[in-house]
Amino acid sequence: MVIEGRVYRFGDDVDTDQIVPGRYLELVRPEDIALHVMEGADPGFSARFVPGSVIVAGRNFGCGSSREHAPIGLRAAGVSCVVAESFGRIFYRNAINVGLPILKCDRIRSAVAEGDTVIVDLAAGTVSVPKRQEVLQGERPSDRVIRLLECGGLVNYVRERIGSGEAKPVPVE
Amino acid sequence: MHALEKILANASGQAVVEAGQTVSARVDLAEVNDLYLQVLISFREMGAEKVWDPSRVVFAMDHYAPAPTIKSAANQKVMREFCASHGIEHFFDINSGVCHQIMVEAGLVRPGMVIVETDSHTTTLGALGAFGTGCGATDMAGILATGEMWMRVPEVIRVTYEGSVPEGVMGKDLALYTLGQLGTEIAGYKAIEYSGEAVLNLPLADKMTLCNMAVEMGAKTSYIQPTPDVLEYVRARTGQEPRPVFTDPDFRYHEEHRMWIEGMEPQVACPSRVDNVYGVTQVEGERVDQAVIGTCAGGRLEDLEVAARILAGKRVNKNCRLIVVPASTEILRRAIDLGYVQSLIDAGAVLASPGCGPCLGAHQGVLAAGERCISASSRNFPGRMGSNQAEIFIASPATVAASAIEGRVADPRKNL
């Protein structure tokens, strides 16, 4: 999976309350959640965001609450990938389960600026920044994670396996 | 092996597991709360028809108790219907309390169990020697369909407290102090065990608060070796002989941290990070417009007792509101019987229904821009309790009670 997009950049410890504030947790339809995504960190984000773009963040992105609304909203808003220096554990699992590409990559936040274009090669775990002629090596996701993302998430994956008579959720950590 | 590893080994049918290994664990108990209609959507989308074992599934209507909006009411309605049609009897409606508390009171939690809930604060259950962890909606749908969840066996970090717990210091203060020392990322993908005489001697309520806050350090789960009083509690609640799991003496911890707590002050996490922690004497005098005592991290009977003791015969400052949210209806009932509720109401507090209350900014005390709140709940993230321009201090129920009297952050030791 290779993803190219413009960067929207955030800092450290963007928790899931900032990604989808608590007052919107009653929402269920992904497109409704998407209207409020990142509202706690940047209130104008969803109006400004160009679908297909990439979110780059510092450490511990998605820490806090287990709300799956966070990756569901990001994906429905058209976020093509989240690259961060580290992730909250539950968010990381949830993102893969809902088919939101996600990559852990040290130093990414200081290596790119808002508006840069990056090319993320998920299978290789790399992020290239053409403007700066730099390629950063992130943590290559396991083959299982890649397969899950290619399926579009855990729902499709389990559905396929229920169909084949071997239903089991798959590891993503 | 560590006790947590033994629990996962048992749940995955293996003799030995080690940190970093991925296992498929049988889930002993799975809980869904009312924020997560997505669980049922994913469950259906997976093509699942039946819940693997209705007797091992719990639903709790705690985050919206009672429903504040038409949408949340509609979500709860679908869940009630789902439970009725799937024969799920452990259904806790809006008159119950917070899942992490009511499941314990109902005798559903025993040492050695693997318990997964759609709530990050499921780490709370480590206080009873269980492996408790939070997950998202789709993972939970997978559990409901198959009864299993894949997980990575976590490394275990041990935090040992040395010295005795000073007067006016609660489990919440130990949790905040530890966060201040170790930060929000120390335990990402890992487990935290709390140990030392000071912790083992804490009442169960304080142990639960300590384990609750482990997730704020990124922990997947937490653990305190059950003591005889905890085992007696489990025995009384479950009617079964608890079988605690023990860590082998030769187990090597991933990291060891020691906390010297003799003479420690009550602690306050300042806006807007849970690890932005100071001793109360450094924060005293900061204005607060609202004070919250309650939720899964500060609404147990012992918490209400200390708050009532501090507020008895006093008045909440006229520039401050005090909201009290018991963690469960059982706690509320006992707090009424013991006179705590009377003292709190006489002092000017308002009582909200047992549950998650205003902690997640959905209802029962949402904050306006420019307002400041001191809360015994678990998180002070930007916008957590309402406006992005509101600020939250996190402290123990004692510190919150003392602050409500002053309308400013105050040292509870002056009121004890």
Among residues B43, B119, B58, which one has the least CA distance to residue B91? Answer: B58
* Residue range B248-262, pLDDT digits in tens: 999 999 999 999 999
* Residue range B77-100, pLDDT digits in tens: 999 999 999 999 999 999 999 999
The pLDDT score that the predictor gives to residue B206 is 98
Spatial contact of B94 and B76, defined as CB atoms under 8 Å apart: yes
Residue A118, SS3 per DSSP: strand
The pLDDT score that the predictor gives to residue A168 is 56
* A 29-68 residues inside an 8 A Cβ radius of B: 39-41, 43, 59-60, 63-68
Question: Which residues in chain A touch residue B148, judged by CB atoms under 8 angstroms apart?
Answer: 168-169
Domain ranges, ordered by start, for chain A: 2-140
**What are the structural domains of chain B?**
3-258 (3.30.499.10), 269-414 (3.30.499.10)
Please indicate whether, in this complex, the C-beta atoms of B383 and A66 are within 8 angstroms of each other: no
Which of A42, A45, A63 is most worth mutating to test chain B (most B CB atoms within 10 A of its CB)?
Answer: A63
Which of A12, A33, A89 is most worth mutating to test chain B (most B CB atoms within 10 A of its CB)?
Answer: A89
Please indicate whether, in this complex, the C-beta atoms of A97 and B71 are within 8 angstroms of each other: no
Q: Which residue of A has its CA nearest to B362?
A: A23
Strand locations in B38-143 (E): 57-60, 90-92, 114-117, 131-134
Residue A164, pLDDT > 80, answer: no
The pLDDT score that the predictor gives to residue A166 is 59
At B367, phi and psi to the nearest 5? -95, 140
DSSP string, A2-71: EEEEEEEE--S---HHHHS-GGGTT--SHHHHHTTTTTTT-TTHHHH--TT-EEEE-SSBT-S---THHH
Question: Which residues in chain B touch residue A66, judged by CB atoms under 8 angstroms apart?
Answer: 118-120, 134-136
Q: Which residue of B has its CA nearest to A61?
A: B185
* A 139-168 residues inside an 8 A Cβ radius of B: 153-155, 158-159, 162-163, 167-168
The pLDDT score that the predictor gives to residue A173 is 47
* Residue range B220-241, pLDDT digits in tens: 999 999 999 999 999 999 999 9
Question: Which residues in chain A touch residue B22, judged by CB atoms under 8 angstroms apart?
Answer: 171, 173
Print burial letters for B267-288: b (CB count within 10 Å at least 16), e (below 16).
bbbbbbbbbbbbbbeebbebbb
Please indicate whether, in this complex, the C-beta atoms of A154 and B184 are within 8 angstroms of each other: no
Count Cβ–Cβ pairs < 8 Å, chain A vs chain B. Answer: 161
* Residue range A36-95, pLDDT digits in tens: 999 999 999 999 999 999 999 999 999 999 999 999 999 999 999 999 999 999 999 999
Task: Average the pLDDT over B194-204 and give the result.
Answer: 98
* A 64-123 residues inside an 8 A Cβ radius of B: 64-69, 71-72, 86-90, 93-94, 97-98
Q: CATH second-level architecture of A2-140?
A: Alpha-Beta Barrel (3.20)
Please indicate whether, in this complex, the C-beta atoms of B379 and A64 are within 8 angstroms of each other: yes
Task: Give the distance from residue B342's alpha carbon to the nearest chain A alpha carbon, in angstroms.
Answer: 31
Please indicate whether, in this complex, the C-beta atoms of A98 and B37 are within 8 angstroms of each other: no
Which of B23, B46, B118, B275 is most worth mutating to test chain A (most A CB atoms within 10 A of its CB)?
Answer: B46
Q: Which residue of B has its CA nearest to A98?
A: B138
Which of A68, A72, A147 is most worth mutating to test chain B (most B CB atoms within 10 A of its CB)?
Answer: A68
Among residues A146, A94, A152, which one has the least CA distance to residue A122? Answer: A146
Spatial contact of B276 and B184, defined as CB atoms under 8 Å apart: no
What ipTM was estimated for this complex? Answer: 0.95
Residue B247, pLDDT > 90, answer: yes
* Residue range B320-362, pLDDT digits in tens: 999 999 999 999 999 999 999 999 999 999 999 999 999 999 9
* Residue range B380-404, pLDDT digits in tens: 999 999 999 999 999 999 999 999 9
Question: Which residues in chain A touch residue B382, judged by CB atoms under 8 angstroms apart?
Answer: 17-18, 40-41
Indicate the helix (H) or strand (E) that contains A96. Answer: helix A89-97
